[in-house]
Amino acid sequence: MAKTVFILNGPNLNLLGKREPEVYGRTTLAEIEQMLTAAAGPLGLAIDFRQSNHEGMLVDWIHEARESAAGIIINPAALTHTSVAILDALKTFEGPIAEVHLSNVHQREAFRHHSYVSPVATGVLCGFGPHGYRMALDWMAQRLTSTD
């Protein structure tokens, strides 16, 4: 059976395509989900793609991933820079974790340069737009099939 990767998206990412397109582009979150769903099958993975504007919901989903997912790809959005709760939840997850940001956070305001998530992420991708999610999924496929 294909291993499942949770792809979790934080606050305001539901507005992707409409929200600050000069920063985040015009691709919608639904289009990113479609692109990843199409890619996952040939990579031998199943994906469970979710978005929430609520920190606690993301924490609950990370706990659920402990039982149901082999890996997590997460764009915590603004919670990247504030959430000890997400950091602590991710610490309880034993599989690989990819942190993804559409924009290059290091080119932006200083408060975006610090991530609570990066210390527990296996790797971090930022600045590649929607393609960053695809790169993370490719890496996840390699990682999850080579450790069998």
Minimum CB distance to ligand DQA smaller for 112 or for 143: 112
**Exposed (0-12), middle (13-18) or buried (19+): which is 148, by Cβ within 10 Å?**
exposed
Cα separation, 53 vs 12, whole angstroms: 6
Identify residues 87-126 at the interface with ligand DQA (CB under 6 A).
101-103, 105, 112
Cα separation, 81 vs 26, whole angstroms: 24
Minimum CB distance to ligand DQA smaller for 80 or for 83: 80
Instruction: Check binding of 131 to ligand DQA (CB under 6 A).
Output: no
Least Cα distance to 140 among 54, 43, 29, 2 occurs for: 43
Interaction mask 55-94, ligand DQA, x per CB under 6 A: --------------------x-xx-x--------------
Q: Name the minimum Å distance from CB 78 to ligand DQA.
A: 4
Q: Name the minimum Å distance from CB 98 to ligand DQA.
A: 13
For tokens 């409409």, the residue is 18
Q: Which residues belong to the active site?
A: 24, 101
Which spans of this chain sit near ligand DQA (rule: CB under 6 A)? Answer: 12, 75, 77-78, 80, 101-103, 105, 112
